[in-house]
Amino acid sequence: MKSIKTILDRELPDYIDGYGEVKPFQGAFSDGGIKTRKAVKLTSVTPYDRKVLANLEQVYDKLNMKDGMTISFHHHLRNGDHVLNMVVEGLAKRGIKDLTIAASSIFPVHAPLVEHMKSGVVTGIVANYMSGPVPEAISRGELKKPAIMQTHGGRPRAIESGDLHIDVAFIAAPTADTYGNINGVYGKSACGTLGYAISDAEYADKTIAITDNLVPYPACPIEISQVFVDYVVQVESIGDPKGIVSGTTKITKDPVALIIAKMAAEVIKASGLVKNGMSFQTGAGGTSLAVAAGLKDIMKREGVVGSFAAGGITGYLVEMLEEGLFKTLFDVQCFDFKAIESYRNNARHQFMSASMYGNPHTKGAVVNNLDIMILGATEIDTEFNVNVTTSSNGVIMGGSGGHSDTAAGSKLAIVVTNLMKARLPMIKDKVTTITTPGENIDVVVTERGIAVNPRRMDLIEKLSRTNLPLVTIGELKTMAEKITGVPKAVRNSEKIVAVVEYRDGSVIDVVRGSRDTSSAMRSSCQTRALILDA
Amino acid sequence: MERLRRSMLFMPGNNPGMLQDAAVLGADSIILDLEDAVSLTEKDSARILVREAIKTIDYSQVEVVVRVNPLDTEFGPHDVEVIARVKPDTLMIPKANEEAIKLADKMLDQIEIEEGYLAGSIKLIALIETALGLENVYNVIQASKRMVGVLLGGEDLTSDLGIERTKEGEEIFYARNKVATACRALKVDSIDTPFTDTDDFEGLAMDTAKAKSLGLTGKSAINPRQIEIIHSVLAPTEAELKHALRILEAMEEAEKEGKGVFSLDGKMIDAPVINRARTTAELGQRLGLIER
């Protein structure tokens, strides 16, 4: 085993057990050109075949489920999802081992996976984002193979190219008909669009619709078509609506976050990108929404009508659509009831698959058309590399999701973050884990100053004509450390517990096992500020 | 240049997170509070916390005001003694009367000598919140050369008067007038009482406009989200700015022609009108609303 380096100077082994050969990251756009999609083997269906099976046991029998298979799930039911646990539990009861779970995201609700990891039922996990007990267990080294962390665009790329082969896709279907047509807009577990499930349905060897709302043929609208679905099975409940969507998404009341959002909106204005036909994406977090609110004010004041807003869609963006501030919404995932309702009723609220959203190896993803992107960060380094995968203690607690995809595609990628969080400085010499390369990050906005990537001299020039507090990234780091002190480096073990894949399938970083979460927490920061020294 | 005190934001002195971020919230002044926001059991720790915060955190963008406890309590003088040594910009004296201001002034004289600070460099703001203090406000301001402003405390004042405090605020009409007039006469800032419903931004804007119309120069805030609205109400409007600039231009013209009094749009322009135009234009410049 040799050691190789990425273009960002991260040292990686050239081969990782349980993962395979490592293709080191060579730059955001280094892997273009001719690409092929894999061919799919399928079993054709005759007019005499019926697709509805009585229960999941029959499904497993029909599919001849066996050890070592890769099974996939989408995360549209988020922390209300029942399907992943239900299926893995059923397969475990049958004595099946060595499964790889390819889920677009893992949430706290998937905690039962931890036991299945220990017992060897689950030995591999592939996901774009993970939170809760599962990534904590992975960080402790409890998964046999290294987990593979992908991006929202990288996952469909991997599936469509054949890099990620799915034996069976289990699609949680809020509504399905007897012939396998699926939508997410009706039923008690409605979640809106099913953007993250499309490649799974189309490229898996077998595709199963699991629904709690089986309707007579045909289910309309059709988001996933019958031509991709092998079987349909009805269960009592695919999810808990309370965990699926939040009732309303609200703008933060946190005063520091509001200051950051206000400055970010002013940066956007100064960039000159606020004009007719503009496009915009932001997350559903409180600060990101506050940036949207600031942008909305600017757009209204200047009479600007945008082309589209994209990504996971919240009620707030729906309001902007309805007020005529954007002509279209591109929706890969609905975050709240208002978004679901709008997607169901408004033709300008346009569905997009994860592949259309961010897959770099297509004939053009939506992120490529994006002007402005608002991003979060757990850590940023002085080269503008961003970590949203691990905590500062090296424990997995997130993942790219669409971070790397939108940063690469957009004209202006702005990271908004507090300069300090829980006594830790957020700007470091080197981030714990690289999720998104600094070459794609243009601006970092904190409550104490704004740093522009030196690659963007044009932006520096524009912003220096404003009253905004422009500083260098090094100055931001100094400001933070003046208050928090310099944290000690966290020493992780040698064992690679996760491989962080960039959207093109190259490896941008690895995550090594945490030694002891609690002691790492204690030693990670020497704080000298505000100590009661009476 | 003199400080702008459009907004003064109260921050509890016993909350490290808030102290850390106080400077970035956009207020002209922050009031680190050792009095009402801090319970009796935390008076000592808050005092130490505020002292360390002033020593450690970069507050250069704002005026740091520390509200000490009343000087006739066991905590007040101790607060002055400890806090003045780390040189805040200003101390705020609650339940202010002449006696308290003179006592604070004397203590500061001594501390400035001992610490080698420029004499008179630590300023004072009186918190007028009793009937006696209000009736005597002119003398309170004159009690020390350190005085840079008065903050009207509407809640305590109405309590002292035994009257109801309402959202409309008619009951403090006299107090606002009195404070505004005395402050204008002695050329110090007059800061209005805070608006206590932190979710009612429309009410805040109306209340601020009312204070502005009576001549108060600033307003205190108890929530950072109030700051932007206070600033927008207190800023001169575009029409006010345009009018002021036209007056100043016309004045320059008249001076060239050697005229003392002149007219604009058929109205006579004399010294008071010019002074007002100058004040408005200067404020506009400082706020970046017009170019210098």
pLDDT 10s digits, A122-141: 999 999 999 999 999 999 99
Q: State the pLDDT at residue A292.
A: 92
C-alpha span between A446 and A414 (Å, rounded):
11
Does the CB of A447 have a partner CB in chain B at under 8 Å? yes
Position A487 confidence tier, pLDDT thresholds 50, 70, 90: confident
pLDDT for A534 beyond 50? no
C-alpha span between A348 and B275 (Å, rounded):
57
pLDDT for A518 beyond 80? no
- What is the tens place of the pLDDT at every residue in A407-458? 999 999 999 999 998 789 999 999 999 999 999 999 999 999 999 999 999 9
Position A529 confidence tier, pLDDT thresholds 50, 70, 90: very low
Nearest of B148, B147, B166, B168 to residue B158 by alpha carbon: B166
Does the CB of B232 have a partner CB in chain A at under 8 Å? no
pLDDT for B107 beyond 70? yes
Angstrom distances, CA of residue A251 to CA of A254, A286, A531, B93:
9, 5, 33, 37
Q: State the pLDDT at residue A198.
A: 98
**Structural tokens at position A192:** 């809106």
Q: State the pLDDT at residue A434.
A: 97
- What is the tens place of the pLDDT at every residue in A67-87? 999 999 999 999 999 999 999
C-alpha span between A82 and A110 (Å, rounded):
8
A216-220, A289-293, B20-24, range with greatest mean pLDDT:
A216-220
Position A524 confidence tier, pLDDT thresholds 50, 70, 90: very low
User: Among all residues of chain A, which has the CA nearest to that of B223?
Assistant: A255
Position B115 confidence tier, pLDDT thresholds 50, 70, 90: very high
The DSSP symbol for A218 reads P
Nearest of A152, A160, A157, A196 to residue A352 by alpha carbon: A196
C-alpha span between A68 and B141 (Å, rounded):
83
Average pLDDT over residues B256-266: 82
Interface test with B, best of A446, A530, A531 (most B CBs within 10 A): A530
Q: State the pLDDT at residue B256.
A: 86
Interchain CB distance below 8 Å, A447 and B45: no
Pick the CATH number of A50-244 from 3.40.1080.10, 3.40.50.300, 3.30.565.10, 3.60.21.10: 3.40.1080.10
Q: State the pLDDT at residue B272.
A: 83
- Tell me what the pLDDT averaged over chain A comes to: 93
Position A528 confidence tier, pLDDT thresholds 50, 70, 90: very low
pLDDT for A371 beyond 70? yes
Amino acid at B54: I
Position A244 confidence tier, pLDDT thresholds 50, 70, 90: confident
Least CB-CB distance to B48: which of A256, A467, A534? A534
For residue B183, the SS3 value is helix
Tell me which chain B residues have a C-beta less than 8 angstroms from the C-beta of A259: 24-26, 224
Does the CB of B230 have a partner CB in chain A at under 8 Å? no
Least CB-CB distance to A532: which of B20, B45, B56? B45
- Domains identified in chain B and CATH numbers: 7-234 (3.20.20.60), 238-286 (no CATH)
Tell me which chain B residues have a C-beta less than 8 angstroms from the C-beta of A253: 225
C-alpha span between A26 and A10 (Å, rounded):
11
The DSSP symbol for A320 reads H
Architecture of domain A255-491: 3-Layer(aba) Sandwich (3.40)
Query: What number of C-beta contacts closer than 8 Å exist between A and B?
Result: 46
**Structural tokens at position B241:** 């700015």
Does the CB of B24 have a partner CB in chain A at under 8 Å? yes
Least CB-CB distance to A530: which of B26, B53, B223? B53
Nearest of A83, A110, A100 to residue A143 by alpha carbon: A100
pLDDT for A525 beyond 80? no
- Tell me what the pLDDT averaged over chain B comes to: 93
C-alpha span between A325 and A78 (Å, rounded):
29
- What is the tens place of the pLDDT at every residue in B49-92? 999 999 999 999 899 999 999 999 999 999 999 999 999 999 99
Q: Other CB atoms closer than 10 Å to residue B187's CB: what's the count?
A: 9
Domain boundaries, chain A: 50-244, 255-491
C-alpha A238 chain-centroid distance = 22
For residue A324, how many C-alpha atoms fall within 13 Å in the half-sphere facing its CB?
3
Q: State the pLDDT at residue A490.
A: 79
Interchain CB distance below 8 Å, A256 and B225: no
Position B128 confidence tier, pLDDT thresholds 50, 70, 90: very high
Does the CB of B48 have a partner CB in chain A at under 8 Å? yes
Q: State the pLDDT at residue A352.
A: 98
Amino acid at A462: K
For residue A182, the SS3 value is strand
Does the CB of A532 have a partner CB in chain B at under 8 Å? yes
Interchain CB distance below 8 Å, B288 and A479: no
Interchain CB distance below 8 Å, B56 and A483: yes
CB A156 within 8 A of CB A359: yes
**Which is higher by pLDDT, A334 or B284?**
A334
Nearest of A299, A256, A307, A305 to residue A419 by alpha carbon: A256
pLDDT for B195 beyond 90? yes
- With left for phi above 0 and alpha for psi between -120 and 50, is residue A404 left, alpha or beta? alpha
Does the structure's ipTM exceed the value 0.90? no
**Structural tokens at position B145:** 């050369």
Residue whose pair of structure tokens reads 């009620």 in the numeric block: A315
Average pLDDT over residues B92-100: 96
Tell me which chain B residues have a C-beta less than 8 angstroms from the C-beta of A483: 20, 56-57
Helix (H) or strand (E) holding A255: helix A255-270
pLDDT for A247 beyond 70? no
CB B152 within 8 A of CB B162: no
pLDDT above 90 coverage of chain A, percent: 86
Interchain CB distance below 8 Å, A529 and B48: no
Angle A286-302/A255-270 helices, nearest 10 degrees?
40
pLDDT for A515 beyond 80? no
Does the CB of A534 have a partner CB in chain B at under 8 Å? yes
Tell me which chain B residues have a C-beta less than 8 angstroms from the C-beta of A482: 58
Average pLDDT over residues B39-47: 95
Beta bridge partners of A129: none
Interchain CB distance below 8 Å, A529 and B49: no
pLDDT above 70 coverage of chain A, percent: 96
C-alpha span between A31 and A397 (Å, rounded):
28
CB B210 within 8 A of CB B169: yes
C-alpha span between A112 and A297 (Å, rounded):
45
Q: State the pLDDT at residue B2.
A: 67
Provide the Cα torsion B78, B84, B90, B93; round to 10°: 20
**Which is higher by pLDDT, B261 or A83?**
A83
